[in-house]
Every structure is written in structure tokens, then in C-alpha cells.
Structure 1
Amino acid sequence: MFRGSIVALITPMHPDGEVDDISLRRLVECHVAAGTTALVAVGTTGESATLDATEHCHVIRRTVEFAAGRIPVIAGTGANSTREAIDLTRCAKDAGAVAALLVTPYYNKPTQEGLYLHHRAIAEAVDIPQILYNVPGRTACDMQPETVARLASIANIIGIKEATGDLTRVTRLRHLCGADFLLYSGDDATGCEFMLLGGDGVISVTANLAPQQMQAMCVAALTGDRERAHALNQPLDALHHDLFVQSNPIPVKWAAAELGLCGTGIRLPLTWLSAEHEARVLAALTQAQLR
């Protein structure tokens, strides 16, 4: 369905933490103009953990409205409660999202069987294409490739965002899940190599700031042009790393504000970027020729 640079879209906010619909519209327009493959609304980078259910659905609906069919919208609908994830996924379908992205349940550390039953229940409850999301560094829960393969046999589970940074998983997942199962990197630092090894794209934090550059790099990698992909990725390498000097999305929201893309709002318990890291993120923006 979607191959290339998929942005893990920030949720712009006013200084008081309320969602900023005007800036959200502007961000969507930027990605339409840049040729970004798809938008992920209300994922980790979109501060899903601090938006209540009403706000979560509002941001999905608004993103779909602003996209107006010009760019696909994938909605982050994962939760550590299966019932809540089903409710959010229904909301995404009703809002017009083309797919849902479902993070593995966090904090409660389910077994592999629990992960299988959780995702199967959501897939059976809501008829919308679903993408698994494995990010054990945040969830303390690592979905193993064999569990992914079991879930890949369910018709509307179409792919996975694999954010371990472990490139050996690309070949393993492809072997277990087949050629049609979509494999997305959730780690910008290894995303280029992930695609050169057979992945289908990157769900990217960096793309919030450098959408055209990320899409061009992804196109090169997906066509197997290793030399060009590496050349396009090199100026972005500092961003891939330095947007994580503090917890995502702290650095990317600060950088987006510096570039005039949004205001300075962020939700507690996240805080604005510490002054000691500002020069490093600015240098990464300069290296990427964004300022």
C-alpha cells in the first residue's frame, strides 16, 4: 500500500498544550507539497500517550480532513488495553484513515501469546488495514518475528513498523512473513540500510523537518541505488541521531518551532528541549541544509 517516507507527524500545540489545528493544517500541506508517501497521525511522535480519547480522535479526524484525499493518513491507535485499542481503531476507521498503526501494549508486558491474541482481537473487531508497531525500547515488550508471522496470516494485518534498529530482523521477517507483508523501519538511523535490505519504507521522525530529502533518499533505497541512497542520507545522519538527545518528540518539536513550522507547545510530562542540547540540534539542522 505505502512505500517510501512516511512521516510520524508531530501534534502541534499552543503554549498551553492545547492542540493547534491551524499549524496541523500547515504541516499537512507541507507534506503534500513535499511528496511524502503517507502521514501517521497520533503516533509516539504525535504524543498519543498524553492526548485523551476525545483529543486523539479529533487529531485523526482533522488530519484526514486537511489531507483531503491527497495523501493517505494512517492513525496511531495502539493502547495497552485491548478494548481501548479497539475503540481508537474504530474511531480511525470512522474518521476516514486508510490504516491503523498499533503499538505493542506497553507497561503490562504481555506474553507472545498475549500479543497475538491482542492484535487478532483488534483485527477481527475493526475491518481496516492494520500495521503492527514493535518498539521495545519504549514498551518493554518485544514482539518476536515468529509472533509477527502468526499475525501476518490475518488478512487485514498488512505490515509492521520494526523499531528495534536490529537490521537482522529485516531478512528474518521477510522470510517468515512473505513478500507482500510490508516492513517499515521505525529507526531513522538505520532506515536507509533497512530499505536496502528489502524493507518498504521508514516511518520517520526526521521527515517532520526534511520531508523532501527523506522521500528522495527512500526512493533511491527502494530502487536499490545504494550509492545515491547513502549520499542523500549522509546530510540527514546527524538529525537521525540528534533528534533523540532527549525523549522523542522533545527535540523534533523544538526544531520544528525553530524552523517556523509550529509553536512551542508540548504536553507534560514532556518538557521543552534543555538549553544544553540546543546547539547540537541546530548543528544537525545546518548539516541537513535546513537553516
Structure 2
Amino acid sequence: MDQHSPSIRAHAVALLRQGVPNRTVAERMNVPRGTVGWWRSEDRRARGERYEAPTDCPRCTGRPYDRLAYGYLLGLYLGDGHIVSKPRQHHLSISCNATQTGLVSAAEDAMRAVMPLPGVSRRHRTGCVEVKSYTKHWTCMFPQHGPGKKHDRRIALEPWQQEVVDVHPWEFVRGLIHSDGCRVTNWTTRLVGGERKRYEYPRYFFSNKSDDIRKLFTDALDRVGVGWTTLARGSDPFNISVARKASVALMDMYVGPKY
């Protein structure tokens, strides 16, 4: 076909080398975008040029970033997040309850606030929404990424991450609660004037198998003046409880239930 002739291809490659986007070249020359992309790739290979996708990674570029959003996103990642890092697939994934639409939106907003350039999407599963952002540079922002489950390996914050948590502890606590925590209403009974009455009270729980992540959570609670206790199920001390009235009031003010 004439549109795939050597002269057409040479003209397209010349435009591509001038920085004209694939889509513009395809539209201008009436050639499929996939073909233009292949021509660009083959031209780079012939010249020995290695393509690096543009990035706005704060760690790689030194660009200022939204630390408030990062504190929250760090909590989400340590709780219900993971990073896929393969030769042709790189993305940060946060798993959210499908009924908690506010949480889904908050996770998306935090990803875009920290790194606006990468694409963000939602993958719907049964009872769950996976919020995903695509770039290999999420491993720069979350150096805790590694093989295996988080509770099977050491989790420690880098000094720059600890600085963010120290400055924005409530955002970090909120992210952890929104991932692996909850606000519930407990009840008990007590005698009042000789009559047994039901008494309800709110409580926050955070559950995680990683000793390191639970320690990061309780350290942040200590920093903001929230009292807490450890509750064991059987012999496993995986649950952190916040039940004192003043501490619950603080949590309600800065964290609140998931929605």
C-alpha cells in the first residue's frame, strides 16, 4: 500500500525525530498509530537509542511533592498495597472495599497528588476495587517493596519517609486505618439503679500481622497523644485497639470511619 511505502515511512520517522507525537503523525499521514509506534521503535533500535519514559518521580527528579498526600498513601500501601514490578509491567495497587467509594476516590487522589504523570485506573473485582497507578517509579517512593509478604520480612522507613510521618502523623494513621483498620461500636451491660442496661461505645481497631507495621502505627499514635492497647486473638497480638474516650474523640476528629 502507498501509505506504507518507504517514502511515507521515512517522512513519518523524520517527524517523529522532531518530537511530533505518534498520534499526530498517524493522523497527518493516515497511518495506524500502532504502525507509527512500531516505526518509532525500529528507528530507535537502529540508532542504538534506549527509550526512557518521562517521569515526575520526586525521588528521581528532585521535584517537590505533596507530602500530606504521601503520608496517607504510605499508610494505604503498608496496609493493603503492593507493587508489581516486572520487565513489562509496573504498577502500584491499593485494594479497597467496593462499598467504600470515598476510600476508592481518596486512594486515587493521593496517587495523582504524589505523581500526577502516571495513569491511574480502577479494576473491579467481587467486593473489591483495585486502584492502580502505572509506573516503575513507585518502587522509588516505596522502597519497602520486595519479594514475599510484608509480615515475612523487615519493614522500616527510610529517613525521608520518617520525616514525612513525623510532620504529618495523622495522615499516616488515617491511611493505615483506612487500609487495615476500622471504627466499630462495641457494647456491654452495667447495673444502673439496680437495673441492667446496655451501654455502647465506639472503638478503633488496627490489625496487621507485621510486627514492624504495627510498631510504626503505635509510634504514630504515641506521637499524636492517642492511647492504645494490644489485643491478642489466641496467642497472636495482631490487633491494636483505641478505646479510651478522649483518644477515640481524637481519632474521630482526624481519621473517622471509612466510607
Tell me the TM-score range normalised by the shorter chain. Answer: under 0.3
Q: Kindly name which structure, 1 or 2, has the bigger radius of gyration based on alpha carbons.
A: 2
TM-score with structure 2 length normalisation? 0.25
- In terms of fraction of residues, the more strand-rich structure is 2
User: What TM-score, normalized by structure 1, do the two folds share?
Assistant: 0.23
